[in-house]
């Protein structure tokens, strides 16, 4: 008789299931896949920023040997893509930003396709351009879309309490305008798609990098006028997502149209320059914030006015106020809050969703004011935050229900580990000194959804599980793996239920013909939503297995459990029989039964009302990050020395994976704060490459110290909450506060490039 | 069409003879002609390291090197590293230390790390970071990649 010891996987450092293949160069990304007979698709993009298209002459391109199809807008139905359906795949009448798609070719080779593009002649008549979002609202401004004569693509308004009353009881009121810049995802794998269409069956197979395969299926069907049932989306491993693949973009239907026109598979992959030019960006924002507090440190009110540069078309970027709002209304307890936002059309590149979804911008403004107000009332910056921090059990005026909330623990731990209070006052004492290198310490906290976000009709995820005759488990999940490690976490959660090792599990997550529905990878929802779904399916499988084992062993199912690949006696761990043997005896018996189960998990969150009130997520993630920096006041160079990150993650599932998410997020936030910037001159991107768009590299990373606060969320899988976006959110805010601590100068625009810092210090010293 | 050039070189230890267009890059030759897709395109201009290969034992960006210049050289790609049993420890270290997320930078990182360690088997963390300076990773924040390499060089703190 064998006794099997209990051994939980939760909290362990599990290696990523797909990592060995990736280190061998065996993983086949979309760029590595070629179908027989495949043609190369390429897009002609405009070099104008705002113009009427007078004519497009494709005759020379069509005549070029090796060209199979040349398409322009007049070959396609004029259906708009995106959130406002304002973005036709190919533009026939007018262009509204530099990237705009004018024509597309499918050809035998890249060289021929490129040559064909050069042969296409386009005549334009330039229109008055619009680059400044503030100018977009002035009377007489050029109108970018006739359907929106005021240039407002989208507006969100929210309020609770009475800010006038709040201001009246304030002892200190501060006001600033913060200007946030434009950055882009820079996924290492550039965008691409392969479309394979069979005309007689009407079957369309797409090899796509999308983060939202099931929503995409519907959108493709709508745009293409197809039966969604004929569309199959296969997702090869993705070379980074970060939100960039959340919307359908013109290149995708264009590729399908090329495949339909040529009756050949067509592959369309961007160059890096094209990736910079034609991918969505993080939304640039102008945030006007007015905040108040009483002398005793109680927050009184917040008035927020945000202008977003939407660019030429509307993708998800226009909806970030939805998330920003939560931070303004509910990161700290604010009795009165008034919030207005507008996303306005310009002739700049358009914005999409990007890890953090507006929260980097919102947090930057709020946390600057938290420091400013603390200093104004002479209160310690940590104490001020602690006094206003949310706690578990709070339901905010916006309706967010914080069943678990580790914010005060995050603040305490990050401050303690970094010796925040002592350093902050020591560095502040030196901020008046002239010249040289100065040190600063800064803090920022964040709130983000951690249990999905109910925005679509369903925020759910489905899982099917099957066990084979050898006890091998296949998990079919709707949730995509985009490098974040969801595959491993889902396998881990299922192993925990079924008592099998990680090596006994395969995860299938990349084919809409096989996997059950999921709303997509966004809103840090996969561990929580897909995790709960996987646990649900596993529990059903377990119940089935134990019922069968009870029949075979004469022990009641309640006294049985699964562990180490065996059915065991729960009380002493004694093996009753190997799991594989049980599965076979079920299969090859009179019952002739296979163990397969299915579960759909819908979180207990609600759709917000028209005033944006309601508990939109089933759980919320919290964090505090403290940074220590050096500012060279003679050059303006800011060096990030160390980051202390304390995150309320509900519970740590895979320690190795979650550390990786947090470290990656910190460094992404560092790039946002210090180096990354899309330099636009009159609507033209001037730095479409890594030479001039500066990403952080290995020698520049800070020392990172990470603490986890485990609040054991009652709804989360094993207590876990989402974490994907959280770590990128605080960095710019904390660095801004640290620069002020070091120098006494409050910089309100990003990024903190040496030039901006140097100038800011000069002006600050002068004023 | 320009006349092609015939080149001879060793690829992952095996002799190769192939005719190439003089304008062809090593990256396109490897990926499109020879079918070795482990070497990645990340930028095409020598700025990201996704295409890192070893040329006569030194790391190089395949996107910047003409295929014709492979003539007479020993080229090792990630596929060559993967069949090299002496490099299993390095690849396993990337797995064990969490140096892989989306994995797109990983082949270039592994090849570059191998180059660093071949030169300096006991490279310290600062040396490792400098060695990886030309390799961009958007996912990991680099720390776990450095941890992986330092575990092999025996300098992990
Ligand atoms: S592809 Fe060669 S360095 Fe980026
Ligand atoms: S793991 Fe994704 S770019 Fe490095």
Q: Please report which confidence band the pLDDT of residue B155 belongs to, taking 50, 70 and 90 as the band edges.
A: confident
Same domain, A656 and A762: yes
Mean pLDDT of A590-619: 95
Q: Is residue A738 part of a domain?
A: yes
pLDDT digits (tens, 9 = 90+) for A420-439: 999 999 999 998 888 899 99
Assess whether A736 and A754 both reside in one domain.
yes
pLDDT of residue A765: 64
Note the helical H segments in A378-460. Answer: 381-388, 407-418, 420-429
- Residue among A15, A238, A689 whose CB faces B102 most closely: A238
Whether A342 has a pLDDT exceeding 80, the answer reads: yes
**Tokens of residue A101, six digits:** 């798609």
A365 pLDDT higher than 60: yes
Region A547-554: what's the mean pLDDT?
93
- Any domain includes A345: no
Mean pLDDT value across residues A456-467: 95
Using a pLDDT cut of 90, give the percent of chain A over it: 95
Which of B136, B141, B146 comes nearest A188 by C-beta?
Answer: B136
pLDDT band at A78 (very low <50, low <70, confident <90, very high): confident
- Mean pLDDT over each residue of chain A, to the nearest integer: 96
Q: What angle do CA A311, A193, B80 make, to 5 degrees?
A: 120
Query: Pick from B45, B81, B143: which is nearest to A663 by CB?
Result: B143
pLDDT of A304 higher than 90: yes
Strand order in the sheet with A560-563: A560-563, A566-569, A575-578
Please determine, for residue B2, whether its predicted confidence score (pLDDT) is greater than 80. no
pLDDT per residue over A147-194, tens digit each? 999 999 999 999 999 999 999 999 999 999 999 999 999 999 999 999
State the pLDDT at residue B157.
Answer: 61
DSSP lists the bridge partners of residue B75 as B11, B55
Q: In terms of domains, do A69 and A202 share one?
A: yes
Does A557 lie in the same domain as A446?
no
In a domain, A89, yes or no: yes
Are A438 and A575 in the same domain?
Answer: no
pLDDT at A217 over 80: yes
Q: In terms of pLDDT, which residue wins out, A519 or A299?
A: A299
Task: Please tell me whether residues A484 and A444 are part of one structural domain.
Answer: no
pLDDT at A480: 87
CATH code (residue A100): 3.90.1170.50
| Per-residue pLDDT tens digits for A643-653 | 999 999 999 99
Q: How confident is the model at residue B29 (pLDDT cuts 50, 70, 90)?
A: very high
Write out pLDDT tens, residues A562-599.
999 999 999 999 999 999 999 999 999 988 899 999 99
- Mutate which of A17, A18, A21, A22 to disrupt the B interface (most B C-beta within 10 Å)? A22
Q: Let me know if residue A356 belongs to a domain.
A: no
How much is the pLDDT for A1? 66
Confidence class for position A764, pLDDT limits 50, 70, 90: confident
Residue that finishes a domain, picked among A544, A569, A601: A601
Q: What is the DSSP string of A135-204?
A: HHTSTTPPPS-TT-TT-EEEEEEEEES-HHHHHHT-SEEEEEEEEE---B---SSPPEEEEEEETTTTEE
Residue A594 and residue A662 share a domain: no
- pLDDT greater than 70 at residue A767: no
**pLDDT tens digits, residue range B97-150?**
999 999 999 999 999 999 999 999 999 999 999 999 999 999 999 999 999 999
Model confidence at A483: pLDDT above 90: no
pLDDT at A716 over 90: yes
User: Does a structural domain hold residue A762?
Assistant: yes
**Strand pairing of A473-477 and A680-681?**
unpaired
Considering the domain architecture, whether residues A428 and A478 belong to the same structural domain is answered as no
Closest ligand 2 atom to B101 CA: 1
Number of domains chain A is built from: 3
Structure tokens at A377: 């009332």
CB contact under 8 A, B138 and A699: no
Nearest ligand for residue B27 CA: 1
Domain end position, chosen among A601, A635, A656 = A601
Structural domain boundaries in chain B: 5-81, 84-153
- Measured CA to CA in angstroms, residue A85 lies from A176, A214, A219, A344, A354 at distances of 35, 18, 11, 15, 20
Looking at chain A, which residue has its C-alpha nearest residue B85? A24
DSSP state of A753: -
Ligand 2 centroid to Cα of residue B142, in Å, is: 9
Residues B52-62 pLDDT 10s:
999 999 999 99
Say if A637 falls within a structural domain. yes
Mean pLDDT of A698-716: 98
Number of A to B CB contacts under 8 A, please give it: 173
Residues of A in contact with B33 (CB under 8 A): none
Residue range(s) defining the domain that contains residue A536: 19-26+460-601
Q: Are residues A102 and A251 in the same domain?
A: yes
**Is residue A621 located within the same domain as residue A766?**
yes
One domain for residues A632 and A657? yes
**A766 has a pLDDT exceeding 60:** no
> Which residues between 32 and 51 in chain B have a beta carbon less than 8 angstroms from any beta carbon of chain A?
36-45, 47-48, 50
Looking at the complex, report in whole angstroms how far the Cα of residue B131 sits from the nearest Cα belonging to chain A. 9
Residues 227 to 266 of A: which have CB under 8 A from any B CB?
237-242
Q: Say whether pLDDT at A247 is over 80.
A: yes
Fold exhibited by the domain B84-153: DNA polymerase; domain 1 (1.10.150)
**CATH superfamily of the domain spanning B5-81:** Beta-grasp domain (3.10.20.30)
CATH of the domain at A421: 3.30.365.10
pLDDT confidence tier of residue A524, bands split at 50, 70 and 90: confident
Query: Which pLDDT band holds residue A485 (cuts at 50, 70, 90)?
Result: confident
**Chain B CB within 8 Å of residue A32 CB:** yes
Distance CA A654, CA A45 (A): 44
In a domain? residue A272 = yes
Testing ligand 1's pocket by substitution, the residue of B30, B32, B47 carrying the most ligand atoms inside 8 A of its CB is: B47
Distance from CA of B81 to the nearest CA of A (A): 7
Contacts of A30 in chain B (CB under 8 A): none
Residue at A661 is within a domain = yes
The DSSP bridge pattern shows strands A285-293 and A101-107 to be unpaired
For A324, the 3-state DSSP assignment is: helix
Return residues 113-152 of B near A (CB < 8 Å).
126, 128-130, 132-146
Do A95 and A225 lie in one domain? The reply is yes
A483 vs A363, which has greater pLDDT?
A: A363
**Residue of B75, B79, B141, B145 to mutate, interface with A, max A Cβ within 10 Å:** B141
Q: How confident is the model at residue A482 (pLDDT cuts 50, 70, 90)?
A: confident
Average pLDDT over residues A556-564: 97
Q: Which residues of B touch A25 (CB under 8 A)?
A: 36-39, 77-79, 81-82, 106-107
Q: What's the average model confidence in pLDDT over A124-141?
A: 98
pLDDT band at B1 (very low <50, low <70, confident <90, very high): low
Share above pLDDT 70 across residues of chain B, in percent, rounded to a whole number: 98
């Amino acid at each position: 008789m064998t006794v099997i010891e209990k051994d939980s996987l939760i909290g362990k450092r599990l290696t990523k299931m797909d990592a060995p293949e990736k280190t061998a160069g065996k993983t086949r990304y979309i760029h590595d896949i070629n179908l027989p007979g495949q043609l190369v698709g390429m897009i002609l993009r405009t070099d104008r920023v705002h113009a009427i298209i007078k004519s497009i002459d494709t005759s020379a391109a069509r005549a070029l040997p090796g060209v199979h199809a040349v398409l322009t807008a007049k070959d396609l139905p004029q259906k708009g893509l995106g959130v406002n359906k304002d973005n036709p795949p190919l533009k026939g009448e007018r262009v509204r930003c530099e990237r705009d798609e004018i024509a597309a070719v499918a050809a035998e080779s890249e060289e021929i396709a490129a040559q064909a593009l050069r042969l296409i002649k386009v005549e334009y008549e330039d229109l008055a351009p619009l680059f400044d979002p503030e100018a977009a609202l002035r009377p007489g401004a050029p109108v970018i879309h006739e359907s929106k004569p005021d240039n407002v693509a989208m507006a969100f308004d929210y309020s609770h309490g009475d800010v006038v009353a709040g201001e009246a009881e304030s002892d200190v009121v501060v006001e600033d305008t913060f200007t946030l810049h434009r950055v882009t995802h820079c996924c290492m794998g550039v965008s691409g798609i392969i479309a394979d269409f069979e005309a007689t069956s009407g079957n369309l197979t797409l090899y796509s990098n999308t983060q939202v395969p099931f929503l995409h299926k519907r959108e493709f069907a709508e745009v293409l006028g197809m039966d969604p049932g004929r569309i199959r989306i296969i997702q090869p491993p993705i070379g980074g997502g970060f939100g960039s693949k959340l919307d359908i973009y013109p290149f995708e239907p264009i590729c399908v149209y090329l495949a339909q026109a040529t009756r050949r598979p067509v592959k369309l992959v961007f160059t890096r320059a094209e990736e910079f030019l034609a991918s969505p960006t993080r939304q640039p924002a102008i945030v006007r914030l007015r905040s108040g507090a009483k002398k005793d440190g109680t927050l009184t009110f917040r008035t927020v006015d945000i202008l977003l540069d939407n660019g030429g078309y509307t993708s998800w970027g226009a909806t970030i106020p939805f998330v920003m709002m939560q931070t303004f209304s509910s990161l700290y307890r604010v009795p009165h809050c008034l919030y207005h936002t507008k996303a306005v059309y310009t002739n700049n590149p358009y914005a999409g969703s990007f890890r953090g979804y507006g929260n980097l911008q919102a947090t930057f403004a709020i946390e600057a004011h938290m420091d400013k107000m603390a200093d104004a009332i002479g209160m310690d910056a940590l104490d001020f935050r602690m006094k206003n921090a949310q706690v578990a059990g709070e339901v905010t005026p916006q309706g967010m229900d914080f069943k678990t909330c580790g914010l005060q623990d995050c603040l305490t731990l990050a401050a303690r580990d970094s010796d925040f209070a002592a350093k902050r006052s020591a560095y502040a004492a030196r901020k008046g000194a002239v010249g040289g290198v100065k040190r600063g310490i800064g803090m920022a906290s964040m709130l983000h959804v951690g249990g999905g976000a109910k925005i679509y009709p369903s925020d759910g995820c489905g899982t099917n599980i099957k066990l084979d005759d050898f006890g091998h488990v296949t998990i079919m999940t709707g949730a995509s793996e985009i490098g974040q490690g969801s595959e491993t976490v889902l396998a881990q959660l299922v192993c925990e239920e079924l008592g099998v090792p990680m090596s006994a599990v395969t995860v299938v997550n990349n084919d809409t013909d096989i996997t059950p529905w999921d709303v997509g990878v966004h809103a840090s929802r996969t561990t929580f939503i897909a995790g709960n779904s996987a646990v649900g399916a596993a529990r059903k499988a377990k119940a089935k297995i134990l019922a069968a084992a009870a029949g075979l062993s004469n022990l009641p199912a309640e006294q049985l459990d699964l562990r180490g690949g065996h059915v065991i006696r729960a009380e002493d761990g004694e093996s009753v029989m190997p799991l594989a043997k049980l599965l076979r005896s079920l299969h090859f018996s009179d019952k002739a039964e296979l163990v397969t189960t299915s579960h759909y998990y819908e979180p207990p969150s609600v759709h917000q009302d028209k005033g944006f009130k309601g508990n939109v997520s089933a759980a919320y993630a919290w964090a505090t990050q403290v940074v220590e920096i050096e500012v060279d006041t003679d050059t303006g160079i800011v060096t990030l020395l160390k980051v202390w990150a304390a995150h309320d993650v509900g519970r740590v599932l895979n320690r190795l994976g979650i550390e990786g998410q947090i470290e990656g997020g910190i460094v992404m936030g560092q790039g946002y704060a210090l180096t990354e910037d899309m330099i636009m001159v009159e609507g033209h991107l001037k730095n479409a490459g890594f030479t001039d768009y500066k990403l952080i590299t290995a020698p520049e990373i800070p020392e990172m110290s990470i603490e986890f606060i485990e609040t054991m969320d009652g709804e989360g899988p094993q207590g876990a909450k989402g974490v994907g976006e959280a770590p990128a959110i605080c960095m710019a805010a904390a660095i801004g506060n640290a620069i002020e601590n070091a120098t006494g100068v409050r910089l309100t625009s990003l990024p903190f490039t040496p030039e901006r810092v140097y100038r800011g210090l000069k002006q600050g010293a002068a004023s | 069409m320009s006349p092609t050039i015939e080149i001879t070189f060793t690829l992952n230890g095996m002799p190769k003879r192939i005719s190439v267009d003089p304008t062809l890059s090593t990256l396109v030759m490897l990926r499109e002609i020879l079918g070795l897709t482990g070497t990645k395109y990340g930028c095409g201009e020598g700025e990201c390291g996704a295409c890192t290969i070893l040329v006569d034992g030194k790391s190089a960006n395949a996107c910047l090197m003409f295929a014709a210049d492979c003539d007479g050289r020993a080229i090792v790609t990630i596929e060559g590293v993967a069949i090299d049993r002496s490099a299993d420890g390095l690849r396993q270290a990337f797995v064990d230390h969490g140096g892989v997320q989306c994995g797109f930078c990983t082949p270039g990182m592994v090849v570059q790390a191998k180059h660093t360690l071949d030169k300096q088997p006991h490279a310290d963390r600062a040396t490792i970071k400098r060695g990886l300076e030309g390799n961009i990773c958007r996912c990991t924040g680099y720390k776990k990649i450095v941890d992986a390499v330092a575990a092999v060089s025996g300098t992990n703190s």
